[in-house]
Structure 1
Amino acid sequence: MEPKIRIDVLTLDSVQCAACGYMMESIAALPQDIQALIEYKEWSIKQKEGIAMFTKLKGKVLPTICIENDLVFQSIIPQYEELIDELAKRAPSDDIKKLILDLRDHDFDFDNIKTNLDRAGSGHNTRSDE
């Protein structure tokens, strides 16, 4: 089994920050076949772990999508085709790259924002007062 493409999303908070939520949703709305090839996580700077990841990845602005430790979309919400193209560039093999590019124009789930955000874990890594 091929390793998954790692995506880290540096945010303020995807629940309270609209742009941060859109960043998370852009990944969650990718076709299911691409979802199977990626692993992603939100890193809110409201948490110590998020601050550490922001520093480790040398983040400059929020929100930012990092793919395989590269700062790719800094404060710019990508179009889905752009996101797929960047995933393909960092694919672990030529076969995976081809598969990703073949899925470039298919099966986006734009009509289920709440489901997409739940799948993305939006708000699961933000501060709580518990």
Structure 2
Amino acid sequence: MPEKKIKIDVLTLDSVQCAACGYMMESIAAMPPDVQEVIEYKEWSIKGNDGIGKFMELKGKVLPTICIEGDLVFESIIPQYEELIDELAKRASSPEMKERLLSLREVGFNFDNIKENLQKAGAGQF
């Protein structure tokens, strides 16, 4: 059975027109391939009804915010790579996934596939 992916919701105004929102999305999209395999993420712009609904459901207070597994983790603070890895590891679905994530702490952001990763997450499309 495949491991359950870590769910990330990024609450934004709009990642195209709001620079901070764009950086927040990019911080997730720039995670290296080994991390991309274990996460699932989506942008929720409050310019749309779905985004407003998700903002209310997660009890968002400020934009942009990164929520990991339903927890408001980075509110208006664009995380450093290591901070993101640590927060993902805390919410890993298995001890093996946690170890795998922590072993990637020194890898750093990877901007090679950022455009494709942003498209997969629906960045700027809603």
The TM tier, using the shorter chain, reads over 0.9
- Distance in 2 (alpha carbons) for counterparts of 1:17 and 1:47: 15
Taking structure 2 as the reference length, the TM-score comes to 0.92
Contact 1:13 1:123 in 2 (8 A): yes
Taking structure 1 as the reference length, the TM-score comes to 0.90
- Distance in 2 (alpha carbons) for counterparts of 1:87 and 1:102: 12
- Distance in 1 (alpha carbons) for counterparts of 2:97 and 2:113: 27
Runs of 4 or more consecutive aligned structure 1 residues displaced over 4 Å after TM superposition: 111-116
Task: Give 5+ residue unaligned stretches, structure 1.
Answer: 126-130
Identity of aligned residues (%): 72
Q: Does structure 1 residue 44 correspond to structure 2 residue 45?
A: yes
Contact 1:9 1:65 in 2 (8 A): yes
Q: Does structure 1 residue 83 correspond to structure 2 residue 84?
A: yes
Letter in 1 for 2:18: C
1:31 corresponds to = 32
How many aligned residue pairs are there?
Answer: 125
Deviation at 1:124, TM superposition (A): 1.5
RMSD: 1.5
Deviation at 1:118, TM superposition (A): 3.6
